[in-house]
């Protein structure tokens, strides 16, 4: 249902900046705006009213008005008038609001203008640093993904040592009491086991042969020393590429965040912390664990965990705002086809999800990726 308004929202309301990236909106709506909501207000209030002699939701207006009282009706009218006017106010004043406003009615009386204030968090205003120059500097020092012979050798020795330690543990645990007595005065203790394993760890390793490498992986995984080292190199390279890419991205974004002055509204930090808790609950559920049991195990309350996560949540919120701003400046938009494709995939997996929210999430992830690729190519 469309609503028409006779108010000039630009002049009827003033906006004052508050600390912590908030604004205070002050102004009034003509009584005519409230009157236009009276019918809808009575329908909404009368839905659940039950009076003797009348069916629920079918109480005649005069009886309903008397039963509810004028101030109750006026309160509902005011709520509806504010709800319909608020989007126009923030649009006219170019306010990038985050979350719901905190409304305080200053004056509400029959035949009088409705006076109220609204305090709402807004997207922080900040100046982008020279992100292209920052990215260029970081890109110059990107670590190489190339794998050296030394790294392959080191990893090979690590695998051999792990195998030997595992075998030694098995041997010790399988020793009979007589064998243990022959080797030591008492049965093996955790300390003596650890000591033996540590001694083995530092002992020289036998030379790798085509026969010995067959025992290092799954049956048939390695055919020869050359095959073992080639596959090991591929594995190290894949791991290195992944780690380097993640670290490089973090280096770029951390450097841009460090050069940006920004005051975050509390609602954004809380939103990030809530997302972190939602992710944790999801992970615990998959492991068939409950949040309360996990918190008891780590001896922490939800509040203590939230306090620990706050710096990370602040960084995540700052990063998202920066990426949005860079995308705007670079005039980047996510690929519409990819958005449709990935939204469809997610909706098939999460059938009860809100498609609009899923679409927004997908668009945001794809846009972030576009921005990061742009920065990495500087």
pLDDT of residue 182: 60
* 148-177: average pLDDT: 84
The yes-or-no verdict on residue 105 having pLDDT over 50 is yes
Mean pLDDT lowest for which of 194-203, 233-242, 268-277, 307-316? 194-203
Please give the pLDDT value at position 212. Answer: 87
Residue pLDDT, tens place only, 49-71: 888 778 777 888 899 999 999 99
Confidence band for 1, pLDDT divided at 50, 70 and 90:
very low
Domain 9-122, CATH class in plain words = alpha beta
CB atoms within 10 A of CB 155: 17
Q: What distance in Å separates the CA atoms of residue 165 and residue 197, rounded to the nearest whole number? A: 6
Q: What burial letters (b/e) apply to 257-285, b meaning 16+ CB within 10 Å?
A: beebeeebbebbbebbbeebeeeeeeeee
For position 340, what pLDDT does the model report?
Answer: 96
pLDDT(122) > 90: yes
Residue range 78-98: mean pLDDT, rounded = 95
Higher-confidence position of 289 and 206: 289
* Residue 168 pLDDT level (bands cut at 50, 70, 90): confident
- Give me the pLDDT at residue 186, please: 52
Over residues 109-129, the mean pLDDT reads 95
């Amino acid at each position: 249902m469309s609503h028409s308004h006779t108010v000039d929202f630009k002049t009827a309301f003033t906006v004052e900046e508050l600390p912590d990236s908030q604004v205070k909106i002050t102004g009034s709506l003509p009584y005519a705006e409230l009157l236009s909501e009276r019918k809808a207000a009575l329908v909404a209030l009368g839905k659940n009213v039950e009076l003797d002699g009348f069916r629920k939701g079918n109480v005649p207006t005069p009886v309903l008005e008397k039963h509810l009282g004028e101030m109750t009706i006026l309160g509902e009218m005011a709520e509806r008038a504010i709800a319909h006017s608020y989007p126009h106010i923030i649009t006219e004043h170019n306010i990038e609001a985050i979350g719901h406003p905190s409304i305080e009615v200053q004056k509400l009386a029959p035949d009088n203008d409705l006076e109220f204030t609204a305090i709402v968090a807004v997207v922080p205003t900040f100046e982008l640093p020279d992100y292209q120059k920052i990215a260029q500097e970081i890109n110059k020092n990107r670590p190489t993904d190339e794998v050296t012979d030394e790294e392959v050798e080191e990893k090979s020795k690590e695998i051999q040592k792990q195998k030997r330690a595992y075998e030694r543990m098995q041997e010790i645990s399988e020793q009979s009491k007589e064998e243990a007595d022959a080797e030591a005065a008492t049965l093996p203790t955790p300390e003596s086991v650890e000591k033996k394993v540590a001694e083995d760890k530092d002992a020289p390793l036998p030379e790798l042969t085509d026969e010995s490498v067959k025992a290092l992986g799954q049956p048939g995984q390695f055919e020869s020393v050359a095959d073992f080292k080639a596959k090991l190199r591929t594995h190290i390279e894949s791991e290195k590429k992944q780690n380097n890419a993640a670290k490089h991205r973090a280096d770029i974004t951390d450097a841009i965040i460090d050069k940006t002055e920004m005051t975050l509204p509390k609602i954004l930090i809380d939103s990030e912390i809530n997302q972190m808790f939602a992710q944790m609950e999801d992970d615990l559920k998959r492991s068939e664990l409950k949040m309360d049991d996990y918190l008891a195990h780590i001896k922490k309350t939800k509040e203590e965990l939230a306090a620990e996560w706050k710096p990370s949540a602040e960084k995540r919120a700052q990063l998202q705002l920066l990426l949005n701003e860079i995308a705007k400046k670079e005039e980047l938009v996510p690929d519409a086809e990819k958005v449709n494709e990935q939204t469809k995939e997610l909706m098939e997996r999460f059938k009860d999800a809100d498609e609009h929210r899923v679409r927004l999430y997908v668009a945001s992830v794809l846009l972030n990726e576009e921005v990061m690729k742009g920065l990495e190519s500087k």
